[in-house]
């Protein structure tokens, strides 16, 4: 759309419109502001202004045609036939020497009258039908709605033609005919609104007080319907004009001298197609521009009403399937000091990720550093909003650009920097070397393809095997994740499986090519507790069976303690502590870790210690100066507020980002809580 201008981007605050009839003053003020802002945005679009200006011009000149038109539209001047543009005839003359501009202005009277009359009549019909249907319900509703279906079953122009055939083609007859075309669609909308409002307890309450429900519904419905229909009305106006012009073009329009734009075009077509083709342009152009103006208002109105930002995320062309990396060359060199120690399978170093927002780029992950060694299970833990999911998606370059961009650091997998990889490199690594499973298995499986298709696809993307062989392997994979009746499940669609089953399918798909690293992004969050335990048990079992490193992203410390070897804790976009699981639980080094431990359900009850974790994770873009945790930290000193704290190696296998880590003696939980809790052994559900 031409109306999508750069200025219209995300509306940051969710505009929750208060529905309570007695909203407080503050709320209504806020609401007014929200609406005002939307209105302003609506009018600020260049296309909307142009459309409004054009419509104003057309309507005003139609109303004041006798004053404005330079000539009598029907005055023939046979000595100046088909003359070109001149000072007295701005758009030339037609085949009978009549002034084209004057005819357009007078034609606008007819075309606009039919157009507005059509939509007005359609609205009246729709209100009556929709209100009765919605309010009476039952048989009346059924009949009226089947009637509406019948109206919609007609090809629009055919219905109008049939009515015009018997009524004749006066201005009002045509408007009536087209009103019948537009009414059914509107009527359905009105009925829907009526039903919705009827259901509201507010109406029920008023009925019990004694006021007539009909009056209430009409009072409530009229404004609702009219605002709800504004978009529809604008589009219908355009469609009505198109239809009216079409009818006139067929010679069935209002008879002369009441000639609308369509009739003008028909005359030009019949008389001048071969001799003066340019005479076809003015009337057609005026129709097209007017329809375009109506449509522009409708589209802009839709964007405004629905509040859907034109561009959901930042500006710029989306890069499909690969997060953009733009690292300064110097930063790359600095981030990669030569090292002698045996390298881990996955080394994330100083990973920095920015999101484009309305307010400019915001750093969401800053200096995330952690390793995953072969065959180890590493938990990546933190409160929501700390950047753990974003970091995990960045490894496979799965973040959408825009808004995301990786602006610094490196991700070494088996010594290869994934941030240097191009699409084909990444495509080879994904699914084969590194696989990933996600939080919501229903949303993450393609609803339009069978489980079998998706599994076979995963195998055949990386291995040249026959379809039959891949299918056999798919069955084995499903068996290995304990899905009963595996062969039959291949033909099932994701929606036919339970949540736990779907996640098992996701796991089977992820493991189809025996990857060396599995990234699991909150894989159990969307599942209920018993299923959660089964999935965790399954992952544990699979890790025992094949050589597999797992990066397990979660907010649930208790869960991850059950089976991880190491834990990396993230806070406000940074890794703040990384340690073997038992050590971390026994003696946390970072106050945030200690606070998280204390806040873990089960620990609080067991130890009777109060939660140390007050306040919220700061939002990206609003990270505090100095140590990012200092505003919530009970141990913060002046030094903590002054400058950023670096992640230090505090012992052979521990890292911590705290100035006071050496002096503080933070309470742990002694035993790893999860290991004492019972987990149901997995079995066939």
Partner 1 sequence: MGRLILRRLLSLVPVLLIVSFAIFFLLALVPGDPAVTLAGGVSATPAQIAHVRAQLHLNDPLIVQYGRWLGNALHGNLGTSISTGQSVSQQIEARFPVTFGLVVVSAIVALIVGIPVGLISGIRPQGAIDGGARTFSTLGLAIPSFWLAVILVSVFAVHWKLFPPTGYTAITSSFTGWLHDIILPAIVLGVLVGASLARQLRASLIDTLDTPYIRTAWAKGGTRRSVLLHHGLKNAAMPVVTVFGIQIGYLLGGAVIIEQIFSIPGLGTYMLSGITDHDLPVVQGVALVFVLFSMAMSLLVDISYGFLNPKVRVA
| Cα(139)–Cα(155) distance, integer angstroms | 27
Cβ atoms of residues 318 and 12 within 8 Å: no
**CB 24, min distance to partner 1, A:** 36
**Closer CB to partner 1, residue 303 or residue 537?**
303
Nearer to partner 1, 494 or 674 (CB): 494
Q: Is the dihedral of CA 451, 454, 457, 463 positive or negative?
A: negative
Which residue, 383 or 457, is less far from partner 1 as judged by CB? 457
Nearer to partner 1 by Cβ, of 165 and 215: the residue is: 165
Q: How far is the CB of 148 from partner 1 (least distance, A)?
A: 9
Of the pair 68, 250, the CB lying nearest partner 1 is at 250
User: Quick one: which of 48, 669, 630, 597 has its CA closest to 304?
Assistant: 48
Q: How many CA atoms lie within 13 A of 417 on its CB side?
A: 15
Nearer to partner 1, 316 or 610 (CB): 316
> Shortest gap between Cβ of 92 and partner 1 (angstroms)?
17
Long-range contacts, 249-255 (Cβ 8 Å, 24+): 252/161, 252/164, 252/169, 253/110, 253/169, 253/174, 254/110, 254/114, 254/169, 254/170, 254/171, 254/174, 255/169
H or E element: which one contains 121?
Answer: helix 100-136
Q: Could you tell me the smallest distance in angstroms from the CB atom of residue 295 to partner 1?
A: 6
**CA angle (220, 224, 228) in 5-degree steps:** 165
Q: At its nearest, how many Å lie between partner 1 and the CB of residue 473?
A: 15
H or E stretch covering 423: helix 423-429
Which residue, 216 or 445, has its beta carbon nearer to partner 1?
A: 445
Nearest distance from residue 518's CB to partner 1, in Å? Answer: 11
Residue 470 beta carbon to partner 1: minimum distance, rounded to whole angstroms: 13
End-to-end CA distance of the chain: 52
- Judged by beta carbon, residue 274 or residue 681, the one nearer partner 1 is 274
Q: How far is the CB of 504 from partner 1 (least distance, A)?
A: 15
Question: Where is 186: in which H helix or E strand?
Answer: helix 171-199
When the beta carbons of 13 and 150 are compared against partner 1, the nearer one is 150
Nearer to partner 1, 244 or 574 (CB): 244
Which residues have a Cβ under 8 Å from the Cβ of 38 and sit 6 or more positions away? Answer: 11, 15, 304, 307
Smallest gap from Cβ 35 to partner 1, in A, equals 25
Residues 6+ apart with CB under 8 A from 232: 185, 186, 189, 298
**Shortest distance in whole angstroms from residue 605 CB to partner 1:** 35
Which is closer to partner 1, CB of 357 or CB of 561? 357
Q: Which of 412, 282, 287, 300 is nearest to 347 (CA)?
A: 412
User: Which residues have C-beta within 8 Å of that of residue 228, sequence separation ≥ 6?
Assistant: 189, 193
Name the phi and psi angles at 232, rounded to 5.
Answer: -60, -40
Backbone φ, ψ for residue 408 (5° rounding): -170, 165
Is residue 532 within 8 Å of residue 552, measured between CB atoms?
Answer: no
- Residues 360, 364, 369, 373, CA torsion sign: negative
Residue whose tokens read 């410390």: 557
- For residue 259, the minimal CB distance to partner 1 (Å) is 16
């Amino acid at each position: 759309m031409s109306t999508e201008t750069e200025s219209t981007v995300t509306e940051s605050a969710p505009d929750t419109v208060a529905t309570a009839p007695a909203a407080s003053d503050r709320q209504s003020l806020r609401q007014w502001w929200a609406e005002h802002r939307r209105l302003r945005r609506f009018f600020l679009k260049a296309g909307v202004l142009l459309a409004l200006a054009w419509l104003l011009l057309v309507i005003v000149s139609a109303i004041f045609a006798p004053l404005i038109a330079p000539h009598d539209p029907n005055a023939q001047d046979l000595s100046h036939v088909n003359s070109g543009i001149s000072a007295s005839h701005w758009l030339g003359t037609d085949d009978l020497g009549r002034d084209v501009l004057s005819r357009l202005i007078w034609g606008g009277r007819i075309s606009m009258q039919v157009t507005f009359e059509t939509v007005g009549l359609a609205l009246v019909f729709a209100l009556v039908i929709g209100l009765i249907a919605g309010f009476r319900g039952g048989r009346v509703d059924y009949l009226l709605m089947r009637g509406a279906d019948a109206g919609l079953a007609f090809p629009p122009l055919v219905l109008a033609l049939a009515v015009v055939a018997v009524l004749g083609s006066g201005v009002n007859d045509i408007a009536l005919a087209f009103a019948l075309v537009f009414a059914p669609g509107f009527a359905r909308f009105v009925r829907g609104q009526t039903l919705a409002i009827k259901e509201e307890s507010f109406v029920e309450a008023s009925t019990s007080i004694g006021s007539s429900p009909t009056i209430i519904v009409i009072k409530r419905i009229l404004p609702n319907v009219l605002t709800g229909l504004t978009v529809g009305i604008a589009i219908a106006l355009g469609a009505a004009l198109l239809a009216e012009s079409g009818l006139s073009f067929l010679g069935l329009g209002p008879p002369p001298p009441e000639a609308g734009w369509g009739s003008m075009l028909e005359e030009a077509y019949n008389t001048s197609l071969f001799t003066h083709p340019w005479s076809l342009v003015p009337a057609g152009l005026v129709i097209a521009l007017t329809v375009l103006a109506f449509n522009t208002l409708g589209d802009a109105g839709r964007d405004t009403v629905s509040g859907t930002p034109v561009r959901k995320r930042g500006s710029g062309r989306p890069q499909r399937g690969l997060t953009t990396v733009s690292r300064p060359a110097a930063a790359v060199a600095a981030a990669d000091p030569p090292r002698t120690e045996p390298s881990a399978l996955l080394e994330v170093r100083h990973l920095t990720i920015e999101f484009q927002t309305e307010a400019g780029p915001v750093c969401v992950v800053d200096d995330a550093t952690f390793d995953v060694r072969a065959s180890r299970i590493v938990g990546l833990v933190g409160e929501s909003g700390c950047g753990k999911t974003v970091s995990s998606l960045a490894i496979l370059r799965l973040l959408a650009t825009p808004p995301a961009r990786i602006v610094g650091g490196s991700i070494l997998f088996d010594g290869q920097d994934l941030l240097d990889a191009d699409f084909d490199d990444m495509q080879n690594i994904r699914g084969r070397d590194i696989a990933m499973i996600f939080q919501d298995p229903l949303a993450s499986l393609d609803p339009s393809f069978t489980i079998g298709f998706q599994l076979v696809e995963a195998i055949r993307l990386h291995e040249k095997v026959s379809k039959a062989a891949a299918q056999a392997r798919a069955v084995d994979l499903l068996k290995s994740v304990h899905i009963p009746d595996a062969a039959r499940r291949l033909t099932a669609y994701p929606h036919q499986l339970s949540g736990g089953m779907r996640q098992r399918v996701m796991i089977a798909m992820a493991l189809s090519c025996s990857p060396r690293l599995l990234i699991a992004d909150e894989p159990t969050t969307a599942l209920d507790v018993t299923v959660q335990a089964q999935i965790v048990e399954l992952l544990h079992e699979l890790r025992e069976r094949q050589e597999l490193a797992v990066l397990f992203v979660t907010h649930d410390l208790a869960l991850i303690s059950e089976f991880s070897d190491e834990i990396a804790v993230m806070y406000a976009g940074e890794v703040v502590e990384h340690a073997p699981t038992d050590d971390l639980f026994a003696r946390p080094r970072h106050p945030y870790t200690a606070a998280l431990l204390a806040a873990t359900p089960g620990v609080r009850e067991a130890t009777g210690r109060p939660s140390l974790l007050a306040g919220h994770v700061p939002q990206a873009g609003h990270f505090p100066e100095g140590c990012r945790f200092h505003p919530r930290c009970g141990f913060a000193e002046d030094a903590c507020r002054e400058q950023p704290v670096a992640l230090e190696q505090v012992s052979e296998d521990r890292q911590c980002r705290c100035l006071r880590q050496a002096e503080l003696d933070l309470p742990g939980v002694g035993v790893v809580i999860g290991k004492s809790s019972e987990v149901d052994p997995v079995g066939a559900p």
